[in-house]
Every structure is written in structure tokens, then in C-alpha cells.
Chain A
Amino acid sequence: MAALLESLLQKEVEAIKAVEWLKHDGDSDSVAWCKPLKIERKEFVPFLLNFLREQSCSALTHGPATPAKTPSHPRVSQPSQQGPGFSSERRGGCRSTRPGTGPRSASRVQLFSSTPSLSPGAEWDTTHPPSGSHCLGGISALSSPSSTSRHTPSERRSAQRASLGDFMLSPPELQHHSLNLGVQQQPRGRRKSAGMGGQGRQGGGRGVFQIEEVGPGRSEGGGRKGRGGAAVSPPMAQMTTLVQLNLTNLEDFPPMGMSHASPPLHTKPSRRINPTPVSAERPHSRPKTCFTSTPFSTRPSSPPPVPEAVTGGITGALNVGSPSLSLQEERELLKRVKCKRAQQVCSPLPTSFDPCTPTKSGLRLGSGSKMTPDTQGSCPDPSKVTLTSELDLLADIYCTCISENLVPNVFLELFFVLQLLTSRTPAVTEEEDKDLSMGKLDVLERSYLSKVHNCVYFSVRVLENQFELVSHLDKDTLRLLAENERVTCFSPSLRNRLTLAQDPSTAKVSPSVDTFIHSVPFQPATDNRSNFSSDKAFHTFKKQRDIFYEVLREWEDFHKEPRWEFETALGSRVRGMVSQLNSAGNHSHFARLFLKQLVQMCKGPRALGSPGDTPDADLLGMLGADSLGRLKRLEERLIQPQGILGPCPPPAFPGHQEFFRDFLKTASCCQLNQHLKDSLCQQLLQLDEVSILAPVVSSTEGEGDMEQQDEKQRFSSVLLLARLLAKFLGYISFLPYQTSERPSREIQESTAALRSKSMSVLDVCAVLRSCVRRRRTILTVPWLVEYLSMLDFTGPFLLCYRTVLGLLLSLYRRMVLSREGEVCYLNQLLMVAVLGWLFQIPVIPEELFFSTDFTVDVELEESETNIQGLDCLPLVDRQLLYTCCPFLGEFRKLLAAFVAGSSARGGGLIRKITPTSAELRGTPTTTRSQQKLQVDLEQAFFHNQPPSLRRTVEFVAERVGSNCVKHMKVTLVCELVRGGERLLREGLISPGANPLILNDSICAQLCDGGQEALERATRFCSEKGPEAIRVLLPDETSPAVLTTSENITKRLATEKACSWLSSNITALVKREWKTKFDRVIKSLPSPEASGVQGSGSGLGAKAGASAVTQEQSRTPKRDMGEEEAVTSCPPDCPHSAPLPSDVLVEIKEVLSIAVGPRSEKEVLTYLQLNALLGKVGDTLSCKKFSFPMPEQMLIRCTVLLACKLVSGELPMVSPQEECGRTVSPGRTVSPGPVLSDSPVQRVDCSIKALLEQLILLWGRDCCSSAPLHLLFTKMTLRAVLMASDSQWDNFLFLVRQLVERGILGEEEVVSHWRKLSQLPWPTEFIEKIQQQSSSTTSLPLPELQNHMDMLQVSQQPVEGAN
């Protein structure tokens, strides 16, 4: 591991290769290079993570520690080969070379060994360097070559590093070394767990880091450092013990705050590379370093005595020096702390305890009182970043690990990165700086992240890389990040992206109305007498119901009082009621009531809020339901300390859930539990099957349609309910096995063996497999995670849970966020978040994540590809994500704490708070209290009515509201846009109009007009709502009830519609208008612009206008929208004209005959061509099938046909011949135009007639864009001139006619002639052309004819000469 990282940092291995390797573990080609290193991905990743944690430990002084990761290899303890006595002396030395005891222990030993007299071990070590290295021999051989033969002062270090790297490679080696500790290990291990007892996790060594411990741990560390550096004077014996204790403690205490904690003696922080602490003494169980960042604690609000007690305990333990004694003491301590914690957990937000203002919060964890000003963190400076390339490299590799889901919890890493971003580290002087970064030759020992500059640089780089993930966080977090001065300083581009990313966030989901009546209403179907076995049971149940609610009310009133305990206050009453249950056999009834009440109170995001809102509810309720949420948030911001819990809080029962949990615990009634289990199971599986429709393809970006929101809401409500039920099912199922402490390995194994015989209440494997197969993981996985989070310590070792965890793990691995799969991003994000959380909670064994036991990918792959499951639907939004994973809010808290901290120094950051009292437009002006009363009245009304009434009213209101919005879209918005289009077109006509300015003004006008929507919506709802209610309610409904229902429906529907419209109508109008505007602008020909330009550039308006018309007439793409084209069909058009495509085919045929090559037989007749031109005319006049492109082509073809006619290239036969030829039977033979003598003349006449026909055609409006310039191309003219005189004659005839009829402008013709005359021609041609050119200009039109005659005469000799 170390070798790989080292060679990476030394650039012996290319970073790209490593990244490739991380991405595709096991690929043969790309990873061939790493074969000799014998590394495995699953080992490298934890090593890297630990490395980063270690590196940054001095910089991270705030927030909960982000613990290191540990791959745990089951290690078998073997009998010591060297005997117990062996280790006592050599312990220090060997330990220093034995990384297995954990990096921190190693580092401490190193620290102490710098003073030779400190411990025998150290002495041994320093005095016998060769044997020390010998001790490492086998390891060194395996390690990177650079370290084997080094005899520098840092030899030991490098040796150690080498052994660190090899540690994981060579378990035998490890065992060998670990055995060195011999006897002493066992007690140490035990003591350690005891020492950690303060953190509440015993035995399992789940190093639960707790803030209470930070104080002692830190001060102790500081002291130690002091001694290490300056050889302060505790007795030697104590020191030895201290060493031992440190070893144990520090393995569990993440070394955060180290440097902070040593303020009195500013020694150089001990920089040791402490990789992967692996416990050698607990062969099978979990490693010590905690996966969980903050299981229970990090609650800044914890009362101060506890840490003191712990400190005392620890010091006591130190002083005693005897393992067993300290063990005993620490157990005591553990109990006390646990007791405390139990209380705290009951009231998760004991805000009253901690009056800390946010300003301090950033520093609080850094034990602010001790902090000297200069340690408050130097201002990071991009120019002071050292080791940039290495940091880049580390960041790249780290990012790969994150984006490939190789880390156990993506959000934990993100949290770590943000911690780095907001890190504060004491100012480092230049020399130290230099020493820190460059002084050490060893690449792994350099301080990459010890300075705040480097931390921020690294962090910003990772954030840039992981931008997509970051951009899906909530708006507040993004804003805080964007406003973070460090981000601005280090990467302005990242800041810009963050600012941009804030915009598209959160489509608003209206908050659900609070339930004001908390009790489950009586329901005749299940609650009346006939459902009970006896009168007695019936009456008993009524009494039980009363007691239940009494208990509930009492809990609500008192549970937050200090020293109130459920058990003592309510225990007897609850048990009394339960015993009645048993005698009356009412369990199923009570279970139903219990669950209904649970769902009613705890479903939905509210339940996750603080439970203490009940006393304030009335007060806040005065302000109306919709403002309630906002006020609550404001309140939270004001009174809630920014206690940063870290991204992995332990499973908890927030809000009213706590009551239900305590109730179950106190009642401890197995019958009730069984009934609950049955019905929870049934409900859960039903919910799991619920069908969610795909939201209709949303119209466009941003605000979802109402229906889409409805489906989303439905999904989120199903999901939240399922999670709630699953959590309680899990709680009840594992309740019998819950232990406060992790049982020993043996007990665990035997229990597991025992329990594996009975069936689990829920077949989790089957559920998971089926959801994967049906692509419904987005619904199932979150509730399954809730269920599994309730597991007891033994649970994960049962086969079924082992399997399901393995399946979840592979699911997690596959859920790579950056990979565009069919699963929507936010869906993925939710799953990654909950799964990551699950992997971090204490009961889940850590070895799970990095072990490869589970190769179940295959199973997951076999899903049917064609099934359109829920996974592909965009169901999750940010709100749901944050509701399900409230711990994501920790990012915001962390950043806010930083702002608070930094602003205290930097002169304060002014935060603009939008006043919450701003009136929503369109809300009636009745006072808030009246509104509240109204809502309460309505609730009361429904309470007395059958549930169907409420359902009907709500359904109708919802539908009417939705329809209303749609109606507004179709009517009002369309009207507005149409009006806008009219305005735009009018505006564009006026000279000098600027479309963009017009657009803005019209858009503003329309948006104002959009406000009318609210009024119209109200009218619509008042009209439609009551209608529907009247139809749907039974005829027998009393008039009063009917009227009330109608009114409620009206109100609800109006509210729904208006709230949507008021927030969305402007956007909607803008969007529609934009589309229309674009279309209008596009339909305007480009000359429009040139026309505008022309008039703008000072030309007369008339000239400009004429330029426009001329241009238009020549551009094929005129304003010929489809609708217009269709409408311009002549009246009574039967649409029976030949299709353009047919005519095109035909005319193509004629043209290709004209162009050749052709056979002798292929000739055309006048009649054929005549008919063809007729068809063309018909086709052009009927617009039904006419589309711009074919139409233009058709007209173009007529011009080409004319060219061929005048040039005589079209093989035509005279009418006589034609009569002789077979005429197609359907055609009526009309007499030729003129019957002249010679065939040539006859043909000539027919050509003239055809030209006439063409001229008529071009004279039509539709053909005004005919590309007549084609007549004057060199090709045409050449063909004409090469042919006989009559052709020239025809050509001139055509041109003359065109000019005469105004189809061609005179100037245009002249310019054509001029252009032609400049081309290289034979002399006689030039003469002809020049004559034309001059005659056309000099002579007025009527005289043209004469001149042409003259010309023709004069041409004769030339012809003859030919």
C-alpha cells in the first residue's frame, strides 16, 4: 500500500495508471504494472483514506473527526512462540517497528524514543539499531527498494513505513510481530475498550469518538508532546504506562486537534505516518478505528462534568498503571457516561444546555479557551501551497475512490473534504514550514496536509472534481460554499459554478398541512362492538384507548422536563393497560390503534423535527400553516446551536417516535409485539408493491408540472411511511436480542448459530432481490436500510443478514454516481446516502465493506431489462433526499460554523434575511388567527364525517386545482402569448424597431397580464369544485354538510391552484413567450434584419423598404409558415391537384431527356409539356401539400425547363408528327397553337406557346420568387447562341415578355447583360450581347420590339457565315 502510494508520489508510477487500476480492478492489461507490487484495491483504499486522515489530523481542529478506515482481516491469534516474557522489554522498540498496533501508537513511541531514557523499549531500539532493522528484515525485503538499505537517521522511520506498507500483504509477518506483545496484549486490548467505554462502545472496540473525550485526549496529547519535545518530567514508570494508554486511546481517538491541543508548548507536531491501525489482539472482531464518525456524541451541548469525569478516570488509570485496576475504573466511568447519554438521546436537542452562540461554534471544538489568537487559523493563500503536484495526485486518486464508490460512505468523504476546506491550523513559521514540507526526504512522511493552504488547495481540487455531487446539495450549502472566501480565493471558477448551481435548485413542494387533531378517529368498520368478542373486551378497549391517549398527552407535556423518565412516570400505567390487554385479548385492536397513531404522528418530515414544537405550535400556528415551516426554520437557526453531528449519526427515534419506542420498551408485551410485527410486515410489503406512475414527461426544465409533483409526493409519502414502519418492525424484531454491549466473539458465534435456525420475520433477501429485479430499489432500499439499522450486534452474522448486507454492498458499489445509468441521479444519490450511512452505523461490522466475501454481483445483474421500474423515474427531489438523510444538513452546519467563526474575525458577514411576513400575492387578507381557526374548524368537521367525505373533498380539490392550472395554461397564457405576437409583429413593422427591446417590453407586459391568472383561477375553482362535489357525494348528504364540503373544496382547490400559479405563472408565460418569439423571429426572413439595417444606416425609409421587398422576392425562405401556406389555398379548392412530388418526378424526367443522353425515340410533344405545365400550375395553387422546399424546387425546375426550351435542347416533335405518334389514350388532343407550314416553324410556335404559359405561371404571386436569373447564366446563353437564330429569337421573346409584364425588372436585365458581356465569348456572340445590353438601357420599353426585329435582321449574315 505504502509502496504504491510512495511510488506514485515519487512519480515512479503514473497517476493515470493508478486511477485506471482503481477503476477496473482486475483488468489484466491496464494493471499489469501493479502486479509486482502485490497490492489490492480493497487494501489500498483504506490505506489512502487513513493516510489522508493522518496527514490532515493537525489541521482538522473542528467538527467531529472523520475517522479513518480500516480493512479488517480476520486474524487468528496463535499461541505465542516467543513466550510471554519476551515482549515486556522489547515492546517499545518492536512496536515502533510494528505498525499493526496502529499508526498512532507507533508515532507515539517514536515520539518518546527521541529521548533515549524514556523507556526500555526505546532504549533498546536506539542502542541497537542493527537488530532493530533486523527485526524488520523480512518486512523490509518486501517493501519498496528504497528503504531496505538505508541507514540514515530516518532509517527507522522508513523501515516502519515499509513495514506499514507490507503489513497488509503479509499476515504471517503481522502475526509474528503482533505476537511480540505476548501477554500484555490481552489486557491492553481490554483496557482499551474500557478506556473507550467513555464513548459508549465497549468490547467491540467500535471506537466511538466523542467530543467529551476530545478535551482529555487532547490535553493529554499536548502534555505528551510537551514531554516528548522538552523532556518534561513525569516519572518514568508513569511514562511507560502513559505510553501504553496512549497506544490504546489514540487508536480510537482520531488525532484531531492535536496541534491545537498543545498550545503552551509549541512543538513541532509529531508527524508520523500512521496507516491503518489494525488490531492484532482481537483476532476476528472489528478494528478499533471507528467507521462511524460520530455515533452518539459530538454533541457540544453535553454537560461539562462528563468530560472531566472521563479525564479524571483516564488520569487515574494512568497513574495506577495497572491494567486491571484501570479497567475496573473505566467500567464505572463507562456506566456513568452511558447513563448520561441515555438521557441525552432521549432528548436529542437539549438546546437549553448550550447557550453557545454560533459565533463560537466553529471554535468550540478546538477548546476555544486555550486557543491563542494566532492559532485561529492562518488565512489560506494559494501562493503558499507547497507540494502542488503531489497534492494534485492525491486528489486525483482520492476523487477516483469517491466517484467509483470505493469508499464506504461518499458523504463522509465529502464531509472530510469540507472539514479540510474549513480547517484552521496554527500559523506555521517559515522554517517549520520548510522543514515540514521539504525537510523530510521520505515522500510518505512529508506533511502534505498539515498546512491550511495545502488543505484548502486539496479540498478545492476535490470539490472541483466532485462538482456534480456537490451541486446536488441543498441551496443553503451551495450558497455557503459559493460565498466561502477560501473557495473564491482558490478557485473562482468553482465559485461561479457553485453560484450557477444554486439557481436550478428545488422545485417547490408545498408543505403538507399539519394535522391538528392527533388522535385516530373512531372507525365503525373496525372499532364497533361487532368486532369484539365480548362486551367486556369492547369496553376494555375503549378504556385502553383512553389510557393510551392519556399517556401520550402526558408524554407530550412532560417528556422534555429534566429528570423526567418514561419508565418511572408512565411505566406502571402502561403495564397496567397492557395486562388488561392480555386478559381481554384485544391485542390486534390495540396494535392497529398503535400503528395508526404512529403513522399519523410520525409520518412525514415533521416528525424529524424537534419534538419540542408542541408547546409552541399554537403560537406559531397563529401565523398560519404555510408560514409555520419557515418560522420553524428561522427558529431553528436562531436557537439551535450549530452542533455538528457529522454525516453519520446513529439510528435514532426523533420526535414522537421516541414515545412509541419507549412505550414498546416499557410495555414489553410479547403478544402485542407479535401483533405489531404481523401487521407491520403486511403493511410494509403492501407499500413495497404500491405502483407509482411515471410522472408525465415534464414539459420542460425546472418547475415540474402539478401532476408530476403529485406523483412525486405520493412516492415520497409512501417512502417515508415505509421507512417509519420498517424502523419499528426492525426495532421490535431485534428488541429481544438487543444488548448494550457487544457480546464476546464466542457468545456471538453461539447466538448466531442458535438464531440461524429460526425464520426471520421478514425475508430481507427475497425482498431485496425482487426489488432489484423489478427495478424498484429506490423504494425498497431506503426502508430496508431503516430496518437493518435496528439490527443487534449478532444480527449481521446471521446468514440472511450477511447476505443482504453483501447484496446492498454490491448495489452500493454499482451505484456509481458519475456513471450515467438509467437510474436518475437524485435517486442514486439517495441510495448512496442511505447505504453509506448504514455501512457506518455501529452494529454493522466494518470488515464488511472491504471484504470480498460477497461476490453477489451476478445476482444483481439478472434483472429484466425491459421492465420500467421506479428506479428510472425522477422521483426523488432534494427535499425528499434531505428528509430521508437529515445528516446531509451537516455540510451546511459545518460551513455555517466556519462562516460564523471567520466572520467574527473578519468583521462579520451580513446575512440578508428575507422577511417571512411578506404577503403572498393573492392570499386573502383575513387575519392569520382566523385562517388558523378556519383550518381547525375544517379538520373538526371532517373528524365527525365518514372518512370517504374527506377523501372525496381532498381528491376533488386536488383535481380541480390541477385542472385549473391546465386551463389557465391553455386559455390565459395562450391568449397572452397571442396578444404578444400581435404586438411584436406590429412593432416590427415600424422602421428602426429592435426586436430585442420589443421582446423585453412585451414580455414584461405579458407577465403583468399573467397575474390575472389568480383571479381567473379562483373563479374557475369556485365554479367547478362544488359541481363535482355535488355529483360525487351521496344524495342523502345533508345540505349543510354538502355546503360545507363545497366550500372546503373551493378553498382547497383555489389554494392549490393559486399557490402554484403565483409561483409559476411568470415563468410559464416567459417560457411560452420565448418559444413564440423565437418562432416569429425565425419566420421573419433575414432581410428583415437587413431592412432594419438599411433604414438604420441613413438610407431613406422608402429605399430600405423597397430593398426589403426586392430581397424578399428573391429569397426562397420567405415568411411562409405552414399554416399560412395552407390558408392561402384558393377558396373551394378541392385539393385534388397532383402532388408536388409526382410533378417533380415528371419534370425531372423531362429535364433529363433534355440534358441527355437520350435515345432517338425519346421526344416530347407540345401536348405533353402543356399538360405538365398545367399540372405545375395546379400544384402550385393548391397549398395543401405544399411545403416550401419542394415548392421552390418546382418553380426552379420550370425555369430550367424554360432554359431548355429556348435553347432548343428539348427534343420536340411538331404537332403533325405528334398526331402520327401514339398519343396516350386518356389525353385529349387539342389542336396545336398555330398550324404553319414547316415542322420547324410549327415546333417554334409550340415553344413560343409554352413560353407564354411559363410566363403566365411566373406572373403569379406564388412564383414571384422564381430564380429567373438562371435564364441568364453563361450555360443557358451559350446554348442559346450556339443553336439557331430562332432560338435566339425565342430567348429574346421570353425576356421581352418578362420585362413587359413586370416580372423582370429592366435594370435587372441590363445588369445581367452587362455581366454576360464581360465573359469571354466568340466575337459574334459578344456583339449580340452588347447590342442587347445597350438597346435595353438606351431605349424605352415599347421600342424594344423594333430593335429586336432589327437585330434579328442584322444577324442573318452572321448565321450564314456559320
Chain B
Amino acid sequence: MKLSRAEYKEIVKCTEHLRPTRQCMTILRQRFPNHSQSTLLSIFSLEYQKRTKRTMSWHHAPECIESYYQRYLSEAKARPSVPVLLELANEVDLSPALMARVIVDRFLQDQEGGVSSKQVLNNMLREPSLIPDQALANHVYQCTINDCCYGPLVDCIKHAIGQEAEVLLRDKLKERNLSFLDENQLRTKGYDKTPDIILEVPIAVEGHIVHWIESKASFGDDHSHRTYLNEQFWSYWNRCCRWRDPATCSLLGLLSLGLKVPYRNVNKVLSKRTTFCEHFALHRPLEILRHPNP
């Protein structure tokens, strides 16, 4: 499903002041009832990640961490029954899961006197009951479970979505009798970096030739397009498509993102061609295969 850029911008604008919590998601859902929760969540999540990237270093400054920790300690003492950590996170606009991480890390420093291993820290965030301090454990639990952008549970959900999308993609291709090699097959053939799917027989989609498909189960905004392009697609281009005559392989298919980019003018396309597609509704990206022309 495609989303107009105007609509997309509106959603982005709306997320600007939201916190990554269940309540905020509800607000978003009420504001845009026409879009599925997964789309909204994905956009929100991407936007929030960008925001976090901007502010992360600030939050992670030692004096900042110290002040959060001290505030947490005093608040937790004063109002034991209140979700103080979550409130603190929302107040300073840091993802609750990340806030929990910061605080537990700091807490462990006090406990063990040294720097705790990442492994221990991750385990505690995954299973707060491992945290020696009961109150802190509860607060951390509240943070990680309420966060809709970060945290172990969210990571797992994202992971699941990615894998499910690949299965669905394969199903769709089989449905259309398109012969393809998937990542595992390619890997056994010795490709070191592979896209999810290489079509054995290229197809034409809306006038563009598509050789391979990479499934990205996240919303395809400008930023992620650019990043994926830089980090992945060029290396596919170099490594996978090299054996093809460049002339015939002049197009990259960024299918799952719903955006087909002729590789020569990627930038132009990114700026002008505003086809966005809903991603979380996993079936949508494949709409683009509607008119295969094998």
C-alpha cells in the first residue's frame, strides 16, 4: 500500500512530540485511524530512532547519567509505588528501555564497584528479576515492557517481522511461478553477501527490470532508503550482479520498499519519486509484483 508523502509527513510531524509508550501509540492510532497500527508504529519507530541518534550522546554524558541516577534514587525513595523511572524517561525524552539500561548500568557500577559486563546488563534487562534491587527490578520491567521502540521484546518483534516477511516473499514468488534462489541457496553457492532473493529469470515491473529482491520489513522512508542503498545494495551490485552484463542489469529492485530505483539515478529518484509503501503489513510490498512479465 502506498502512502502519499503528504500523509507521511503529517504522521512524522505528529510523532515529533510523542514518547515511545503505549499511551502515545494510542494517541497516534486515534489521530490516524486509516492506517494500521503497524505502519504507524514503524514510522514512529524510525522517527524515534533518528531522534535518539541525535540525542544519545547527550544522554550518555557521565554527568547526565549521574543526575538521572540520583534523581531516580531520590524519587524511588520518596514515591515507591509510582513508576518513577518511566516518568523520568518520558520527562527527559529518552526511550524508557534505554533509560532503564543507563540506570541499571549505573546501579551495577555501585554494586560491583566496577564496570559490569554487557552480557550481565543485557540479561538483567531481559529478565529484570535478576536485578538484586527489587524496586529497581520493577521499574525496569515497567520501562522495558512499555517501550514501543526499544528493548528486548521490541527487538524480537522486529526480528520476527523480518523473517516472516521473507517467508511471505517466497510464498508470493512461488504463487506467481517465479523461479528464484533464496539466501540460503545462494550462500551454499558461495556468495558472501546476498540479497534475499535472486530471480533466475528477471522480470519487468512497471517498466523496470528487476533482478533481485531484498526484503526490508520496515517502513521505507528516505533515510532508510539511502542507508540501505549505501550499506547493502551497492555491495550486492558489486558482488552479485557483477557477472551480468552491466547493460542488462541496469536496474536495482528495491522491491520490498516499494521503490524501484534505476541505479544510475538513485538520488534523483529518491528526491522526486515519492512512492512510499506500507511495510509492516507484510503482504503489501509484494503488490509491486502484480504485473510480472517473465
Partner of A1152, one of B22, B159, B161, B242: B22
B156 touches A1157 (CB 8 A): no
Contact B142 A1155 (CB under 8 A): yes
Which one of B134, B138, B156 contacts A1190 once the chains associate, using CB atoms below 8 Å? B156
The answer to whether B160 and A697 touch across the interface, beta carbons within 8 angstroms, is no
Cβ of B282: which chain A residues have Cβ within 8 Å of it? 1139
Q: Quick one: given A697-B191, A699-B189, A1139-B282, are A1193 and B134 in contact (CB under 8 Å)? A: no
Known: A1148-B145, A1156-B142. A1270 touches B127 (CB 8 A): yes
Q: Which residues of the other chain, B, contact A866 by a CB distance below 8 angstroms? A: 246, 264
* Chain A residue, CB-CB nearest to B87: A1157
Of A28-36, A57-65, A1274-1282, the segment with at least 4 beta carbons within 8 Å of chain B is A1274-1282
CB distance from B131 to the nearest CB of A (A): 9
The reply to whether A1141 and B242 contact each other, CB–CB distance below 8 Å, is no
Say if the beta carbon of A1185 comes within 8 Å of chain B.
yes
Give the interface SS of chain B, mostly helix, strand, loop or mixed.
Answer: helix
In the complex, chain B residues whose CB is within 8 Å of the CB of A693: 243, 245
Contacts of A1184 in B (CB 8 A): 167
- In whole angstroms, what is the CA distance A500 to B24 when docked? 62
**A1184 CA to B160 CA, complexed, in Å:** 12
Complex Cα distance A697/B264, Å? Answer: 23
- Which residue of A694, A699, A867, A1139 is within 8 Å of B190 (Cβ)? A699
Q: B208-264: which have CB < 8 Å to A?
A: 239-240, 242-243, 245-246, 264
A696 interface residue per 8 A CB criterion:
yes
B243 touches A697 (CB 8 A): yes
A699 contacts across to B, CB distance below 8 A? 189-190
Give Cα A1190–Cα B163 distance, bound, in whole angstroms.
10
Contact at A1189–B160, with CB atoms within 8 Å? yes
Interface string of A1172-1215 (1 = CB under 8 A from B): 00000000000011010110010001000000000000000000
Chain B residues with Cβ below 8 Å from A1197 are: 153
Q: Is A222 an interface residue (CB 8 A)?
A: no
Residue B195 is within 8 A (CB to CB) of chain A in the complex = no
How far apart are the CA atoms of A1151 and B160 in the complex, in Å? 19
Contact indicator A1274/B164 (Cβ below 8 Å): no
Please judge, given known A-B contacts A693-B243, A1184-B167, A1270-B129, whether A1141 and B145 are in contact too, CB under 8 Å.
no
Tell me which residues across on chain B come within 8 A of A1145, comparing CB atoms: 37-38, 157
Q: In the bound complex, how far is the Cα of B191 from the Cα of A696, in angstroms?
A: 10
Residues B138 and A1275 in contact, CB atoms below 8 Å apart: yes
Given contacts A697-B191, A1275-B134, contact A1193 B243 (CB under 8 A): no
State A435–B191 Cα separation when bound (angstroms).
63
B-chain residues with CB within 8 Å of residue A697 when the two chains form the complex: 190-191, 239-240, 242-243
Report if A1144-B160 is in contact (Cβ < 8 Å); known contacts: A697-B191, A700-B190, A1275-B137.
yes
Chain B neighbourhood of A1189, CB < 8 A? 156, 159-160
Known: A699-B189, A1185-B167, A1278-B134. A1157 touches B83 (CB 8 A): yes
The yes or no answer to A1140 lying at the interface (CB within 8 A) is: yes
Alpha-carbon distance A698/B239, docked complex (angstroms): 10
| In the complex, B197 has a CB within 8 A of chain A | no
B141: CB under 8 A from chain A? Answer: yes
- Give the residue of B129, B145, B188, B240 whose beta carbon is less than 8 angstroms from that of A1151: B145
Contacts of A1270 in B (CB 8 A): 127, 129
B15 close to chain A: CB less than 8 A: no
A689 vs chain B, min Cβ distance (A): 15
- A763 lies within 8 A of chain B by Cβ: no
B160: A residues at CB distance < 8 A: 1139-1141, 1144, 1185, 1187, 1189-1190, 1193
How distant is the Cα of A851 from the Cα of B127 in the complex, in angstroms? Answer: 71
Residues of B within 8 A of A1140 (CB): 160, 164
Name the residue among B86, B154, B159, B239 with the largest chain A CB count within 10 angstroms.
Answer: B159
Q: Select one of A1075, A1144, A1149, A1185 contacting B156, CB under 8 A.
A: A1144
CA distance A275 to B207 in the complex (A): 69
A373 to B191 CA separation, bound complex (whole angstroms): 61
User: Which of A696, A1155, A1185, A1276 makes the CB contact (< 8 A) with B164?
Assistant: A1185
Select from chain B the residue with minimum beta-carbon distance to A1272: B129
Distance of A1152 Cα from B96 Cα, bound (Å) = 13
User: Complex Cα distance A1157/B26, Å?
Assistant: 14
Shortest Cβ distance from B106 into chain A, in angstroms?
Answer: 21
| B146 in contact (CB, < 8 A) | yes
Would you give the shortest CB distance from A912 to chain B, in whole angstroms? 35
List of A residues within 8 angstroms of B285 by Cβ: none
User: Are B246 and A868 in contact (CB-based, < 8 A)?
Assistant: yes
Q: Could you tell me the distance between the alpha carbons of A569 and B145 in the complex, rounded to whole angstroms?
A: 100
- The residue on A at minimum CB distance from B263 is A866
**B21 nearest CB neighbor, chain A only:** A1152
Q: In chain B, what residue has the closest Cβ to A1148?
A: B153
Question: Shortest distance in angstroms between A1043's beta carbon and chain B's nearest beta carbon?
Answer: 37
On chain A, the residues within 8 Å of B189 by CB distance are: 699
- Given the interface contacts A1151-B145, A1155-B142, does A694 sit within 8 Å of B242 by beta carbon? yes
Contacting A at CB under 8 A, from B129-160, are: 129, 134, 137-138, 141-142, 145-146, 153-154, 156-157, 159-160
Query: What 0/1 readout, one digit per residue, does chain A (681-703) give for beta carbons within 8 Å of chain B?
Result: 00000000000011111111000
Which residues of chain B have C-beta atoms less than 8 A from A867's C-beta? 246
A1331 CB–B CB distance under 8 Å: no
A868-B242, A1185-B167 known; A1193 and B153 CB under 8 Å?
Answer: yes
Contact B161 A1141 (CB under 8 A): yes
A1075 to B239, CA, bound (A): 21
* CB of B211 to closest CB in A, whole Å: 14
Q: Say if the beta carbon of A502 comes within 8 Å of chain B.
A: no
Q: Considering the chains assembled together, what is the distance between the CA atoms of A1140 and B161 in angstroms?
A: 8
* Chain A proximity mask over B163-203: 1 for CB below 8 Å, otherwise 0: 11001000000000000000000001111000000000000
Contacts of A1148 in B (CB 8 A): 145, 153-154, 157
State in angstroms the CA–CA spacing of A699 and B138 once bound together: 52
Given A1144-B153, A1148-B145, A1152-B22, A698-B159 contact (CB < 8 Å): no
Q: In the complex, what's the smallest C-beta–C-beta distance from A1140 to chain B, in angstroms?
A: 5
A1190 CA / B157 CA spacing, docked (Å): 7
A1144: contacting residue among B157, B240, B243, CB under 8 A: B157
Indicate if the CB atoms of B86 and A1276 lie closer than 8 Å: no
> For the complex, is A1022 an interface residue (Cβ under 8 Å from B)?
no
Residues A1275 and B153 in contact in the complex (CB < 8 Å), given A694-B242, A698-B190, A1156-B142: no
Say yes or no for A1273: interface residue by CB 8 A criterion.
yes
What is the minimal beta-carbon distance from B206 to any residue of chain A, in angstroms?
24
* Chain A residues whose CB sits within 8 angstroms of the CB of B141 once the complex forms: 1155, 1275
In the assembled complex, the Cα of A1273 lies from the Cα of B134 at a distance in Å of 11
Residues of B within 8 A of A868 (CB): 242, 246
Tell me the complex Cα distance, A1149–B188, Å.
40
Instruction: Report Cα–Cα, A673/B161, bound state, in Å.
Output: 73
- Chain B nearest CB from A711 CB (Å) reads 10
Q: Is B157's CB under 8 angstroms from A1273's CB? A: no
Given A1139-B282, A1190-B156, A1155 and B163 contact (CB-CB distance below 8 Å): no
Could you give, for residues 1138-1170 of chain A, a 1 whenever the CB lies within 8 Å of some chain B CB and a 0 otherwise? 011100110011011101110000000000000
Q: Is the CB of A1276 within 8 A of B129?
A: yes
Cα A794 to Cα B245 in complex, Å, equals 44
Q: In the complex the two chains form, what is the Cα distance from A1141 to B242 in whole Å?
A: 36
A1071 to B138, CA, bound (A): 51
Known pairs A697-B191, A1157-B86, A1190-B156 / 8 extra A-B pairs, C-beta < 8 Å: A868-B246, A1139-B282, A1140-B164, A1156-B142, A1190-B159, A1193-B160, A1275-B137, A1275-B141
Can you list 30 A-B pairs, Cβ within 8 angstroms, ordered by A? A694-B243, A696-B243, A697-B190, A697-B240, A697-B242, A698-B190, A700-B190, A866-B246, A866-B264, A867-B246, A868-B242, A868-B246, A1075-B188, A1141-B160, A1141-B161, A1141-B164, A1149-B22, A1151-B145, A1187-B163, A1189-B156, A1190-B157, A1190-B159, A1190-B160, A1190-B163, A1193-B160, A1270-B129, A1275-B129, A1275-B137, A1275-B141, A1278-B134
Q: Which 7 residue pairs across A and B have the least CB separation, nearest first? A: A699-B190, A1190-B160, A1273-B129, A1141-B160, A1193-B156, A1141-B161, A1275-B129
